[in-house]
Chain A
Amino acid sequence: MVDASILKELRAAVDGPDGASAAKRSSGLITEPSQLKTYECDGLTNFRVEPSAVVLPRSAEQVQAVVQICAKHKVPFVARGSGTGLSGGALPAEGGVVISFARMNRILEIDIPNQRVVVEPGVINQHVTDAVAEHGYFYAPDPSSQSVCTIGGNVAENAGGAHCLKYGFTTTHVLGMQVVLPNGEMAMLGGPVQDVPGYDLTGVFVGSEGTLGVATKIILRIVRRPETVQVLLAAFDSIAAAGQTVSDVIAAGMLPAAMEIMDRLSAKASEAAAHPNYPVCEALLLIELDGLAPEVAAQMSEACALCEKNGAWEVRVAQTAEKRALIWKGRKAAFAAMGRISPNYIVQDGVIPRTALPEVLEKITHMSAEVGLRVANVFHAGDGNLHPMVLYDQAIAGQEEIALDLSYRILHLCVDHGGSITGEHGVGKEKQQAMGYMFTEPDLETMQRVRRAFDPENIANPDKVFPRTKLCGEKTGPYTPHPLEQAGVAEFF
């Protein structure tokens, strides 16, 4: 619990010994209950916890001072960027401190010849691209929230986006980081060059959802903007036909920048929200190809032919940058657009091997009919990342529980088909129990070893990612015999 003396220490850490007024700027400590409310949840709004305090440090040293205070008093802390996460990763810990990076939003260095940018964690994703665009570069990971989400949050979640099919995820683009460890020590993981000697702690830290410490400076790799970009939109009578086209494109040796499918329900909602002029159809396939103009032209005609071969009754290639932007605007508005067709919805983030797409979608349709709730589907089809949206009405008693249950059963379905419970939103608070379905206890226990090495006191974003104590009737995955048992050396009684 954060008492008055700890608050005093925190205030000194972020405002300096003389206080904020001496420096003529607003305090970096928030304790007013009305203001704390802002921080009680992230993009996953059905979990809420009011923090004891929020700090807004301005420098890595201030972050370190805050974490040192937390470590000394064993107070849990949770880092927060823009709070756009969809799995409750930035949900405050009970009685804990939230470290907001809103004031650490400077781009520190732009190094075009070496294709690197150094940023503070509070920098908005889109601002990195904006800062290097004049040199012909961009920052590739592009989650739908890129205009508001921060690089620090992206690092915590290993954020993806529509274009990671070709360009990779946040982890592909992070070379190194300055971090504050949960014991308050500052460390440099990785660096500006490749293969810095030592364990790849950068690789482990990215995507650890704030459970291993807090990044205070991040070295990013930027990518040359392709010469040409073309987007194709194709309308199909079935998701299976659109899915087959995706497989055919991959089999033809193409690696598009993005391949997205929207079903009738989500396309309809996006149309209402963003007016991208989508055809009305059962499945809308969007393919983006980029590269050298003649290569893109050749691949685009091949992709169009594959769409037609699979029964597309309309194939459109966007001819201008404005038309391309409009097509993407519709796709990126898909989640928010659900508000237009349903009072409430739950977005899930399962992943399946691409080839399992028709079977899994058929099962989802069946499951949705069984409980009488609609499920809209938007997915990154190229990498099998589904975003089923379970639509429901909170005002109807019991419907939220049915919706939640359905959304978790969809995740189990993904795991049953060899996939994952999360492709880019993270486990956070939302899916911590589902981790027990995807991984066995030895898998999870091995991951906990990493956690204990970084955070033996368990104060960095505690009670996230890993399942809580097993609930009655909960399954934790198939039984794995002990190796000695399997080798016939020992037996369990």
Chain B
Amino acid sequence: MIGVIDIEALISSLPGVKGARDKDGRVVALPSTVEQVAAVTASVDGHGLAIEITGAGTKRGWGNPVRADLVLNTTRLEGVREHRWQDLTATVGAGTTWAAMQKELAEHGQFVALDPLWPEMATVGGVIATNDSGVLRMQYGSLRDLIIGMTIVLADGTIAKSGGKVVKNVAGYDLHKLMTGAFGTLGVIAEVTFRLHPLPAQTEAWSASSTDADALGFLMTRVLDSNLSVRAMQLRASIQGYSLDVELASLPEVMAQQMDRLNGLARGSGGSCTTKPNVASNLFRTREHLFSYDYVLKVTMLPASIGHLARDVVQLGGMAVTQASGIMLAGFRETTAVNALPHLYEYIDRARGTVAVLKGNKQQWPTWPAQPAREKTGLRLMQQVKQQFDPRRTLNPGRFMGGI
């Protein structure tokens, strides 16, 4: 079948859909409306072809490689469609860059309370498809808590909406939760409605540095156990040492008092650490630097394991940034990865954590290492969901775990 179809002609026959070619010579379809997305997927699905869905492409390497006949690029689905600031909700096209969206919402002092990687480039759809998040997660939750509605397009061209434009809503299944983190294997995310939060009046950052990872890990759990107005917290770990960064969001008049309490916790946590206010810009974007390494792993763990797993990463020759919610990004050079990863996998397993290889030699180190017994049933269930949503395997085939 493939080969006899002129994909370029197929795309150009769909009204309004722009066509282009990427650097590999593949046809790229650029729809600008939800209906155009549906026209693309339905006609491609009908011809038994496969689509790779992309936004800005910043996280394209995160899943398994996809063998697709054409690319569906969502970047023309851009713009904040509606910002109901009095209701603290906004509906946004999936191709909008994260930063552009935030800029518009900030006009009314609001934002989507999530800080993904590379916000200037990353699109809303891509952030959701990969379930990316940053340090704000400990206070505001993940995308699961921030998305209240979504318009999706299935492979067969079905346009479906789930949720709505109100924060509280339990009518029907939450398809938007299923789409979050599904790497585009179940449908194309076209439009999203978020619940918003007010931007904080004042924030201040503070860091505690030490050569003792466990002491800072313990301090982190003490801060979590406190009543301080902590908005963000991360543990940076490298051969140079460890640093616990805390961002407080509070009223100006009580900020000094909170800083005192933070210093008090640091003093009482054992180990010797140096504390100071931290005014470094982009302090909480440090994890982006890890992507200069050959290997980048996403490791999830219980908060109490953060200190010792951070130490393990450094001892194995890597560096890491871990959010207080228990999500670590760890970077390794090619030379150390081969020896380090097997040990790290063992430590993670022992700590009841999980691992995904975002960047590296995927032939040797699959994105999602096989998890023996855990999950024959879980995987079978996921395959059944895929079968129901995309029976011809048209959307991002093979990108997800278990070959989904």
A383 pairs with B166, CB closer than 8 A: yes
Q: How far is the CA of A295 from the CA of B227 in the complex (A)?
A: 12
A487 touches which of B39, B224, B325, B374 (Cβ 8 Å): B39
A484: Cβ under 8 A from any B Cβ: yes
Q: Which chain A positions have C-beta within 8 A of B162?
A: 443, 446-447
> For the complex, what is the distance from the CA of A13 to the CA of B382, rounded to whole Å?
29
**In the complex the two chains form, what is the Cα distance from A196 to B354 in whole Å?**
6
- Residues of chain A lying within 8 A (CB to CB) of residue B73: none
Q: How many A-B residue pairs have CB under 8 A?
A: 281
Cα distance A207–B85 when bound, in Å? 27
Q: Closest approach, in angstroms, between the C-beta of A163 and any C-beta of chain B?
A: 12
Interface membership of B275, Cβ < 8 A: no
Chain A nearest CB, measured from B266 CB (Å)? 18
B residues 175-221 in Cβ contact with A at 8 Å? 175, 177-178, 180-182, 186, 197-199, 201, 221
Does A355 contact B87, Cβ atoms closer than 8 Å? yes
Most A CB within 10 A of own CB, among B153, B168, B401? B168
CA distance A483 to B87 in the complex (A): 31
- Compute how far the CA of A94 lies from the CA of B275 in the bound complex, rounded to whole angstroms: 66
A438–chain B nearest beta-carbon distance, Å: 6
Contact partner of B159 (CB less than 8 A), chosen from A115, A298, A483, is A483
Give the residues from 163 to 187 in chain A that come closer than 8 angstroms, CB to CB, to chain B.
164, 168-169, 171-172, 181, 185-187
Query: Do B87 and A168 have beta carbons less than 8 Å apart?
Result: no
- Residue of A115, A351, A438, A488 touching B15 (CB-CB under 8 A): A488
Contact with A along B89-112 (1 / 0, CB 8 A): 100000000000000000001000
A426 to B169, CA, bound (A): 9
Give the residues from 202 to 247 in chain B that come closer than 8 angstroms, CB to CB, to chain A.
Answer: 221, 224-229
Contact A427 B381 (CB under 8 A): no
The reply to whether B166 and A194 contact each other, CB–CB distance below 8 Å, is: no
A420-B15 CB under 8 A given contacts A200-B180, A452-B388: no
A446-B304 in contact (CB<8A): no
Contact between A208 and B173 (Cβ–Cβ < 8 Å)? yes
Cross-interface CB contact of B197 among A197, A255, A431, A439, cutoff 8 Å: A255
Contact A424 B302 (CB under 8 A): no
In the complex, whether A328 has a CB less than 8 A from a CB of chain B is no
Given the contacts A195-B181, A489-B14, A201 and B229 also touching, CB distance less than 8 Å: no
Q: Does A153 contact B (CB under 8 A)?
A: no
**Known contacts A187-B377, A200-B178, A487-B39; A420 and B254 CB within 8 A of each other:** no
Q: Does B272 contact A (CB under 8 A)?
A: no
Known A-B contacts A450-B388, A487-B39; the reply to A440 vs B161 at CB < 8 A is yes
Bound-state Cα–Cα, A194 to B181, Å: 12
- Determine whether the beta carbon of A189 is less than 8 Å from that of B169: no
A442 touches B159 (CB 8 A): yes
A87 nearest CB neighbor, chain B only: B170
Q: Does B165 contact A (CB under 8 A)?
A: yes
Please measure, in the bound complex, the distance between the C-alpha atom of A291 and the C-alpha atom of B139, giving whole angstroms: 13
A residues 232-285 near B (Cβ < 8 Å) are 247, 250-251, 253-255
Q: Closest B residue to A353 by CB, please name it.
A: B87
Judge whether B401 and A198 touch: CB under 8 Å: yes
- The 8 A CB mask of B356-387 against A (1 = contact, 0 = none) is 10000000000010010011011101101101
A465, CB-defined interface residue at 8 Å: yes
Chain A interface: which of B1-9, B20-28, B141-149?
Answer: B141-149
* Chain A residues with CB below 8 A from B37, complex form: 483
Please report the C-alpha to C-alpha distance between residue A452 and residue B387 in the assembled complex, in whole angstroms.
10
Interchain CB contact (< 8 A) of A420 among B137, B166, B186, B199:
B166
| Complex Cα gap A204–B378 (Å) | 14
Q: In residues 443-477 of chain A, which contact B (Cβ within 8 Å)?
A: 443-447, 449-454, 465
B164 at the interface (CB under 8 A from A): yes
Digitize A398-426: 1 where CB-to-B-CB distance is under 8 Å, 0 elsewhere. Answer: 00000000000000000000111111111
Contact flags B387-404 to A (C-beta < 8 A → 1, else 0):
111000000000001000
Interface band, chain B: 35 or more
CB distance from B107 to the nearest CB of A (A): 14
Question: Is A380 positioned at the interface, with any CB of B under 8 Å from its CB?
Answer: yes
- For the complex of A and B, 9 pairs with smallest distance between CB atoms: A483-B38, A203-B177, A446-B160, A487-B39, A253-B198, A449-B388, A423-B168, A453-B384, A420-B169
B377 touches A164 (CB 8 A): no
Q: Is the CB of B159 within 8 A of A157?
A: no
User: Are A188 and B198 in contact, CB atoms less than 8 angstroms apart?
Assistant: no
Which of these, B201, B303, B354, contacts A195 with CB under 8 Å?
B354
- In the bound complex, do residue A204 and residue B174 qualify as a contact, i.e. CB atoms below 8 Å apart? yes
The verdict on A192 contacting chain B, using a C-beta distance below 8 Å, is yes
A384 contacts the other chain (CB 8 A): yes
> A489's contact among B39, B131, B201, by CB below 8 Å, is which?
B39
Interface residues of B in 108-137 (CB under 8 A from A): 109, 131, 137
Complex Cα gap A486–B36 (Å): 8
- Taking CB atoms, residues of chain A closer than 8 Å to B178 are 199-201, 203-204, 450
List 9 A-B pairs, Cβ < 8 Å. A160-B170, A164-B168, A188-B375, A198-B382, A199-B182, A253-B198, A439-B171, A453-B385, A483-B42
A316 / chain B contacts, CB cutoff of 8 Å: none
Question: Given the complex of chains A and B, what is the CA–CA distance between A158 and B37 in angstroms?
Answer: 32
Contact among A196, A453, A488, A489 with B388 in the assembled complex (CB-CB below 8 Å): A453
B385 and A450: CB pair below 8 A? Answer: yes
A227 interface residue, CB < 8 Å from B?
yes
CB distance from B10 to the nearest CB of A (A): 11
Residue B326, interface by CB 8 Å:
yes
When the two chains form their complex, are residues A189 and B378 in contact, meaning their CB atoms are under 8 A apart? yes
Asked whether B157 is an interface residue with its Cβ less than 8 Å from the other chain, the reply is yes
Q: A200-B181, A255-B197, A440-B161 are in contact. Are A483 and B377 (CB under 8 A)?
A: no
Closest residue of chain A to B375, judged by CB? A188
Give A483 to B37 CA distance when docked, in angstroms: 8
* Contact across chains for A194 and B401 when beta carbons are under 8 A apart: no
Interface: A435 (CB within 8 A): yes
Closest Cβ neighbor of B258 among chain A residues = A292
**Using Cβ atoms and an 8 Å threshold, which residues of chain A touch B326?**
193-194
